[in-house]
Structure 1
């Protein structure tokens, strides 16, 4: 593994206690950053914090990204613990259910939009002011190929991720003349715990579209996200980075 130059950087990672978020945190710590893990589960956070503490400075906050007051409080606590915030990676997300739109449960639709889209609006709104204090920041939002193409029987998830792409493009342009960069990454299928909530049929549909014929790994997405969070990613903002095993062709 090549180490990134994240020395002295202070990162908030939502959904940081497991899956992609945990892998990002480990890669960042190994590259010299300090990290604040955010998750809605205190027990999961405790386990993740213990597992990562040997790699560097780890703080953790129980945060519900769907609740702005919780996000605002978490941002204040993370900034105090780390001495500021330079990096925000929004990895928290839920899959919802796989059913046709005309059968989609109203409460599940609302939950998916609240976490996947409104949650990213909340974190960016709360954390960008901390980045403005030092005129430096890197924001990476995790979207999905579903947000670019739309996956059948996954309307809420597809809509939420399309919204994340639009939000990031808008924010990137707003901050373009500052030292803050905001970009979005669209992975295809990454092997994480989230797939436990996805049907085998849906996974098969997604894999069939990937020329490499396999899922991506958390190490592969961590490598790209790590670079997107580095000082070297200086001339890209409001941009969409694909990680799709060849699925994305535009």
Structure 2
């Protein structure tokens, strides 16, 4: 990739961490953003530099706050010149199942800011540099069938913000196509716990009857698609919303658990 630079939000753990490995493996320098996991972020940065010979920096920041987004992008541009790839991985999620009327104002605002408004903040900040190079990649994350604006019981704030993000992602794809910039959304399935950082070979042979393909999903299932969409040859893919679910009905699982 001729040492292009990726900014990955929430990259210290989980799918973000596995994505950082996938992009470093194909030669991306990167900014590893974290909010509270400083030790994990620094450890990851060192591992990527040692294994793949790429340059990395770690930058703390809460992406729900515009001022923190400005600082994250400024640090990246100071170190690397520009952001070529924005991976909008971080996104708050309330695990507790609760109906819409049970959310208080601060919870609702936190979820919407973290999943939708933050994508606006960061995209607006990084697009000028991408336009100058006439090249860029923006990748967001959603949930299965998000493009149909489905209802998701007990997940109103998350579902509403991700549905808005799907529309925003496709709008950016249309507006920036003439500038050599693509924007796509990946929709992970029910990838939980330690599986978020595992590789595909670790899931082979592990039986999961809740997934039609028969095995658990892993962080690598998502990360390998991120790397593919970030390649030079993927410039014809934009505005896509791609499910990576193993066929599982994530929205309906509450009814048959």
Q: Does 1:74 align with 2:72?
A: yes
TM-score (normalised: structure 1):
0.85
Partner residue of 2:254?
none
Q: CA deviation at 1:193?
A: 6.5
Q: CA deviation at 1:26?
A: 0.9
Q: Secondary structure at the match of 1:176?
A: helix
Partner residue of 2:255?
none
Contact 1:113 1:156 in 2 (8 A): yes
Q: Secondary structure at the match of 2:161?
A: helix
Contact 1:37 1:60 in 2 (8 A): yes
Q: Secondary structure at the match of 1:74?
A: helix
Q: Does 1:245 align with 2:246?
A: yes
Q: Secondary structure at the match of 2:238?
A: coil
Q: CA deviation at 1:25?
A: 0.8
Q: CA deviation at 1:129?
A: 1.0
Q: For the aligned residues, what is the CA RMSD?
A: 2.2
Q: Structure 2 vs 1, CA of residues 245 and 150 (structure 1 numbering), >3 Å: closer, same or farther?
A: farther
Q: CA deviation at 1:230?
A: 1.0
Give the gaps of 5 or more residues in structure 1.
Answer: 1-5, 196-206
Q: Structure 2 vs 1, CA of residues 208 and 128 (structure 1 numbering), >3 Å: closer, same or farther?
A: farther
Aligned residues: 232
* Of 23, 34, 59, the match for 1:39: 34
Partner residue of 1:204?
none
Give the gaps of 5 or more residues in structure 2.
Answer: 197-207, 250-257
Q: Secondary structure at the match of 1:246?
A: coil
TM-score (normalised: structure 2):
0.83
Q: Does 1:95 align with 2:93?
A: yes
Q: CA deviation at 1:105?
A: 3.0
Q: Structure 2 vs 1, CA of residues 194 and 219 (structure 1 numbering), >3 Å: closer, same or farther?
A: closer
